[in-house]
């Protein structure tokens, strides 16, 4: 025994005790069972909430982000969900779009219904510009391509002429560390806009729909330093909550940059009025990659999303540089909202990621969104494609 430890004396029993079980009435048994069930559910809820706080996924504004209840490495781990057994193996690969309109004599025509912004006028415009105290680059003479913007400060948008995917301009999006809370509202409170350098797209027509999103991102190595478990969200699909009765909820789809590649997640809630920030459920997947291979160059992203929060009729496919990296079918995805989801492009430093020691910088170009089962990959994919490629 350790001499510094207190000694324990075990006293032998002095009497023989006979255990006589009590006979409980049927009503009492039911009451006890009900109490145990309530206590069990309460404990599960508290544990889940504490876990989210411990991992730093609850923001000062009430946004909770779990990447996720079930998190899977899609290249190395097996999963009980059969949908993952064919992840990315049955999806089609596509060629990269050219970076010059002169690259082909017969470029494909994009549908007029496809929203498109490449910041070609050196600025941007949105339906609502009141979310941010600062709106660098706002030009009210331009078409209102975006729903609204959230820009941390006057540094958060610059019309870039040197680093472009196609055309003369791209958007340089800059999030600054070091007192990030000082820009919007209370200078001592880190609010949601303080965490972002982001543009939000238009809402889908329904909570049950198929939407396509395409964009190009350039991640400079100096502006995308990530260590440990740091993450930087650069694209998400957001739910359109039904009034103030519902809490802000985790994104139905979120795409993060990590030190080891990318991470994607999806979430859902079939309840008409959500009562939890984390929704009914969520699942996430790591996409291992050498980050340096995706830095200091343009990377093309295309997502096809079918939202269905009620039944396993949803779907999610992600292409990176024309190659399918994840293809999920027969899943629940989205929220039971009156209005459909809307996309968000740019930085969102959620949770403890706002404590990072480096600024976050990216360039954004060739932004598109389309809706409907008739839409295709080529309607939103970045770059220029020939009619021959589409065949």
pLDDT band at 6 (very low <50, low <70, confident <90, very high): very low
Instruction: Count CB neighbours of 184 within 10 A.
Output: 23
Helix (H) or strand (E) holding 390: helix 387-390
- pLDDT of the residue at 244: 74
Q: Are 98 and 149 in contact (CB under 8 A)?
A: no
Q: In the structure encoding, which two tokens stand for residue 305, read together?
A: 């999303």
> In 3-state terms, what secondary structure has residue 173?
strand
How does the average pLDDT of the chain come out, rounded? 82
**Lowest-confidence region among 106-110, 144-148, 178-182:** 106-110
Which of residues 113 and 208 earns the better pLDDT score?
208
Q: Are 307 and 62 in contact (CB under 8 A)?
A: no
pLDDT band at 246 (very low <50, low <70, confident <90, very high): confident
- pLDDT of the residue at 103: 66
Per-residue pLDDT, averaged over 384-391, amounts to 84
Q: What is the DSSP letter of 136?
A: T
How far, in Å, CA of 387 to CA of 383, rounded? Answer: 13
- pLDDT of the residue at 242: 85
Per-residue pLDDT, averaged over 324-353, amounts to 96
Q: How far is CA 347 from CA 3, 121, 199, 300, in A?
A: 57, 22, 9, 16
Nearest Cα neighbor of 155 from 196, 122, 124 is 196
- pLDDT of the residue at 139: 97
Q: What percent of the chain has pLDDT over 90?
A: 68
Strands 334-335 and 170-175: what pairing? unpaired
Per-residue pLDDT, averaged over 153-165, amounts to 97
Task: Supply the pTM of this predicted model.
Answer: 0.80
Query: Per-residue pLDDT tens for 29-60?
Result: 445 555 555 455 444 444 443 333 333 333 32
**Lowest-confidence region among 35-49, 95-109, 117-131, 307-321:** 35-49
Which of residues 377 and 88 earns the better pLDDT score?
377
Strand ranges inside 179-270, DSSP E: 196-200, 209-218, 231-238, 253-258, 261-269
pLDDT band at 88 (very low <50, low <70, confident <90, very high): low
Q: In the structure encoding, which two tokens stand for residue 281, read together?
A: 């459920």
- pLDDT of the residue at 390: 79
Which of residues 353 and 274 earns the better pLDDT score?
353
Place of tokens 């989210």: 52
Place of tokens 């005790």: 17
Which of residues 247 and 224 earns the better pLDDT score?
224
- pLDDT of the residue at 129: 94
Nearest Cα neighbor of 319 from 67, 75, 95, 71 is 95
Nearest Cα neighbor of 190 from 200, 181, 177 is 181
- pLDDT of the residue at 233: 98
- pLDDT of the residue at 89: 63
Q: In the structure encoding, which two tokens stand for residue 179, read together?
A: 């007192």
Place of tokens 């329904």: 206
Instruction: Count CB neighbours of 41 within 10 A.
Output: 10
Domain 62-390 has CATH 2.60.120.200: yes
Residue 154 scores a pLDDT above 50: yes
In degrees rounded to 5, what are phi and psi of residue 54?
Answer: -65, -35
Helix (H) or strand (E) holding 36: helix 26-54
Nearest Cα neighbor of 350 from 239, 182, 215, 236 is 236
- pLDDT of the residue at 388: 80
Q: In the structure encoding, which two tokens stand for residue 135, read together?
A: 């709106």
Length of the chain: 391
Sign of CA dihedral 133, 135, 141, 146: negative
Place of tokens 């006293």: 11
């Amino acid at each position: 025994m350790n001499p510094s430890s207190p000694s324990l004396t075990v006293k032998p029993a002095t009497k023989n005790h006979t255990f006589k079980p009590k006979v409980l009435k049927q009503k009492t048994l039911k009451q006890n069972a009900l109490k145990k069930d309530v206590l069990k559910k309460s404990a599960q809820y508290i544990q889940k909430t504490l876990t989210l706080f411990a991992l730093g996924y609850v923001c000062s504004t009430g946004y909770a982000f779990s990447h996720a209840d079930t998190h899977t490495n899609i290249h190395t781990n097996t999963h009980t969900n059969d949908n993952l057994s064919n992840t990315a193996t049955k999806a089609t690969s596509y060629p990269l779009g050219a970076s010059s309109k002169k690259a082909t004599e017969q470029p494909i025509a994009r549908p007029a219904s496809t929203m498109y912004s490449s910041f070609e006028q050196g600025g941007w415009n949105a339906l609502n510009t009141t979310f941010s105290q600062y709106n660098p680059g706002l030009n009210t003479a331009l078409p209102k391509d975006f729903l609204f913007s959230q820009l941390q400060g006057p540094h958060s948008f610059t019309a870039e002429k040197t680093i472009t995917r196609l055309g003369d301009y791209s958007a340089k999006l800059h999030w600054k560390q070091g007192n990030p809370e000082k820009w919007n509202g209370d200078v001592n409170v880190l609010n949601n806009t303080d965490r972002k350098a982001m543009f939000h797209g238009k809402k889908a027509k329904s909570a049950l729909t198929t939407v396509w999103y395409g964009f190009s991102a350039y991640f400079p190595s100096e502006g995308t330093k990530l260590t440990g478990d740091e993450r930087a969200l650069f694209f998400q699909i957001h739910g359109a909550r039904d009034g103030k009765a519902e809490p802000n909820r985790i994104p139905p789809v979120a795409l993060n940059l990590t030190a080891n590649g990318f991470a994607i997640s999806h979430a859902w809630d079939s309840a008409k009025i959500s009562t939890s920030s984390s929704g009914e459920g969520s699942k996430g997947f790591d996409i291992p990659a050498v980050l340096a291979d995706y830095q200091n160059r343009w990377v093309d992203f295309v997502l096809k999303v079918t939202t269905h929060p009620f039944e396993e009729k949803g779907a999610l496919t992600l292409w990176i540089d024309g190659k399918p990296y994840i293809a999920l079918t027969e899943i629940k995805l989205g929220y039971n909202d009156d209005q459909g989801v809307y996309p968000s492009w740019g930085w969102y430093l959620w949770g403890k990621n706002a404590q990072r020691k480096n600024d976050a910088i990216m360039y954004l170009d060739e932004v598109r969104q389309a809706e409907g089962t008739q839409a295709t990959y080529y309607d939103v994919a970045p770059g220029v494609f020939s009619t021959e490629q589409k065949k």
